[in-house]
Structure 1
Amino acid sequence: MKDVRKILLPLPSTSNAEAALVRGGNFARRFGAHLAVLHVRPDGRDIAPLAGEGMSGAMVEDLMRSADHESARHAHDVHALFERYVAGQPDIKIVPLHSVYPEDAPSISFTVVRGAESEIVPARARLSDFTLVPHPDSGDEVSSSETLHAVLFDSGRPVVIAPRTPPAGLIKRVCIGWNGTAESSSALRGALAWAQTAEAVRVLHCGDYQRRGPSAKDVVEYLAAHSIKADAVEFQPVDRDVGKGLLAACKEFEADMLAMGAYSHSRLRQLILGGVTRHVLETADITVLMSR
């Protein structure tokens, strides 16, 4: 599809990275697109301003060397994982970043840059059709979650969260979580790339989830204008939890992907009280597209 030509895949570490690479390769094949794999390596010198008072110059130097050693280890491990992946994908051509990508054929690149991930990734995401990130449930590594939120709030483009485990097959059944908000509208637009070639598409809505705006029936008519056949189904909260109800409805539909708006309420409120976005991020076992 011409709508998707470049996919950004930031890999902060090897945590959940294999599943993200598998999903990214599937996307590159599906759209004949370029998968730009990016590792942002923190600069050990950035730790100096964070050093506590009373630390000697030698202690600060030791901290910087330790941080740099750790970042070098992460970069090595991520690159090794990338090399193992591409060795088994002869149909995906390895090309330099910013080169002329093959027309309608999958390609891939790997780049390491130094700097702050929360600044570099959103900036590069702005000139990518969407950003694919590893699942944020990544053990003791919080950087992938930071990356996810940096892209959501500071790129203007959709983010796709890969599942925890390598997915089997392509995305064939797509659910669109709809509540009438601008965020869900943005996610709907992002999901068209998959919906146009999906076997089945369903618009999910809930009275407890709906905000002021177009209805699910309006969404079905909008999709029909794009030659996409879809139905609309109202789901119910599970244990008074809308997020649980949404994922249960996706499971009933046997969905491969859920597209939804993110943080219709403030992120702080979601963190304190919980919310649909937070529940989906923490518990979804399918590919999820989110947009702000």
Structure 2
Amino acid sequence: MTLQNILVPFQNIETGVQAFNTATLLAKHFKVHLNVVHIRQKFPLPAGYYYPIAGTYFQESMNAETAGAGRLANELKTKYEELCEQRGIARTGMGNHDESLGTTASWDDLYSNYSFAFAREARLADLAVVARTKGTPSTDNSAMIEELIFQSARPVLIDTAAGPIAEFPKTVVVAWDGGREAARALSAIIPMLKEAETVFVSSIGELEPAAALPERAAAFLRLHGIHALPNHPSVRKGQSREERFLEHAENRDADMIVMGAYSHSRWREVILGGFTKFMLHHANTPIVMAH
């Protein structure tokens, strides 16, 4: 089990460059391929398009949108090429990657509904790396992250507003509740956990009666040669599980958090909030999520 292909969405300079830098750190460590993808959004024809006046107006609007999308795509591709040159990354197709080449990268420019299409592209990657925008995430960026988590069946590393990862994560904290999402996240990211110095498997509060304890999860990781330690941080009065976990990760000087995402209904998370939503909005540590 190893990483061979990392997907990097590249929709704007800010988040694209940050995600690329983080993905490059991982790719150089494992000598793997970066699949950098830009998606130009399709513009659907509106109702009434075929009426003469409306048709002319909408055609002009679509032409302007298409031209703008083309300029942005060219600008981003130029930036991608600059980044590859600066970091000594060979540009070649995914099928041509060979470990002897070191880290390689390819650029794909696609047309689609972009939040959904990234998830489709990620299904042939071992990991997707995205950057969270500073402050309140944009609607487009949030939709892309959510669709990657829900629809790709792959782990997603969300780099935070604190900036790109400066060095390979040495201390990792795993949020463990014994559920299937946590299990998927744990197993999917084993190649990275093997490279860490210490992995804390942490359960906040009480687990479900039938759930495997963090001691069992840590023992499983040790079978893979990972230095894993179980933790049972207690929740203080007036403190939520989410707040306690984030505090625990900070106290452990975590370089990365690993967790299952959306163990409850996504609509419940949207309306009432939840562990996933809290971590996406408040964590300043890179997070790997899987659903």
Fold shared per TM-score above 0.5: yes
Task: Return closer, same or farther for 1:203/1:129 CA change in 2, 3 Å cut-off.
Answer: same
SS at match of 1:240: coil
**In structure 2, C-alpha distance between the alignment counterparts of 1:211 and 1:158, rounded to whole Å:** 27
1:235 aligned partner: 233
Unpaired stretches in structure 2, ≥5 consecutive residues: none
Contact 2:48/2:55, CA 8 A, preserved across alignment: no
Task: Return closer, same or farther for 1:149/1:136 CA change in 2, 3 Å cut-off.
Answer: farther
Deviation at 1:118, TM superposition (A): 3.2
Task: Return closer, same or farther for 1:84/1:223 CA change in 2, 3 Å cut-off.
Answer: same
**In structure 2, C-alpha distance between the alignment counterparts of 1:217 and 1:3, rounded to whole Å:** 24
1:62 pairs with 2:60: yes
1:118 pairs with 2:90: no
1:145 pairs with 2:114: no
Deviation digits for residues 86-139 of structure 1 (CA, Å, limit 9, x no counterpart): 22112x222124324334721111121112223422222111111111215576
2:40 aligned partner: 41
1:21 pairs with 2:38: no
Task: Return closer, same or farther for 1:8/1:50 CA change in 2, 3 Å cut-off.
Answer: farther
Contact 1:209/1:242, CA 8 A, preserved across alignment: no
1:158 aligned partner: 155
| Greater mean deviation of Cα atoms: 98-107 or 182-191 | 98-107
Deviation digits for residues 49-108 of structure 1 (CA, Å, limit 9, x no counterpart): 367999711221122123213322331332233123222112x22212432433472111
Deviation at 1:281, TM superposition (A): 0.6
Paired residue type of 1:120 = A
Paired residue type of 1:147 = M
**In structure 2, C-alpha distance between the alignment counterparts of 1:223 and 1:289, rounded to whole Å:** 17
Paired residue type of 1:154 = Q
Task: Return closer, same or farther for 1:272/1:140 CA change in 2, 3 Å cut-off.
Answer: closer
SS at match of 1:57: helix
Contact 1:181/1:212, CA 8 A, preserved across alignment: no
Paired residue type of 1:282 = H
2:168 aligned partner: 170
**In structure 1, C-alpha distance between the alignment counterparts of 2:209 and 2:67, rounded to whole Å:** 49
Query: Which of these residues, 114, 126, 130, is aligned with residue 129 of structure 1?
Result: 126
Task: Return closer, same or farther for 1:189/1:73 CA change in 2, 3 Å cut-off.
Answer: same
**In structure 2, C-alpha distance between the alignment counterparts of 1:256 and 1:94, rounded to whole Å:** 29
Unpaired stretches in structure 1, ≥5 consecutive residues: none
**In structure 2, C-alpha distance between the alignment counterparts of 1:208 and 1:76, rounded to whole Å:** 52
**In structure 1, C-alpha distance between the alignment counterparts of 2:108 and 2:58, rounded to whole Å:** 29
Deviation at 1:152, TM superposition (A): 1.4
1:89 pairs with 2:115: no
| Greater mean deviation of Cα atoms: 137-146 or 272-281 | 137-146
Task: Return closer, same or farther for 1:173/1:211 CA change in 2, 3 Å cut-off.
Answer: farther
**In structure 1, C-alpha distance between the alignment counterparts of 2:12 and 2:254, rounded to whole Å:** 28
SS at match of 2:128: strand
- Identity across the alignment (%): 25
| TM-score normalised according to structure 1 size | 0.90
| Greater mean deviation of Cα atoms: 255-264 or 150-159 | 150-159
Task: Return closer, same or farther for 1:180/1:136 CA change in 2, 3 Å cut-off.
Answer: farther
1:76 aligned partner: 74
Coordinate RMSD, CA, aligned: 2.4
1:264 aligned partner: 263
Deviation at 1:16, TM superposition (A): 2.1
Deviation at 1:141, TM superposition (A): 3.9
**In structure 2, C-alpha distance between the alignment counterparts of 1:134 and 1:50, rounded to whole Å:** 36
SS at match of 2:72: helix
Deviation at 1:208, TM superposition (A): 5.1
Task: Return closer, same or farther for 1:282/1:213 CA change in 2, 3 Å cut-off.
Answer: same
**In structure 1, C-alpha distance between the alignment counterparts of 2:20 and 2:113, rounded to whole Å:** 22
Deviation digits for residues 121-163 of structure 1 (CA, Å, limit 9, x no counterpart): 2222111111111215576742222221222111211111122
Equivalence map 1:208-287=2 (5 Å): 212-237=210-235, 239-287=238-286
**In structure 2, C-alpha distance between the alignment counterparts of 1:275 and 1:116, rounded to whole Å:** 27
Deviation at 1:170, TM superposition (A): 1.6
Paired residue type of 1:289 = V
Number of residue pairs aligned between Structure 1 and Structure 2? 288
| TM-score normalised according to structure 2 size | 0.90
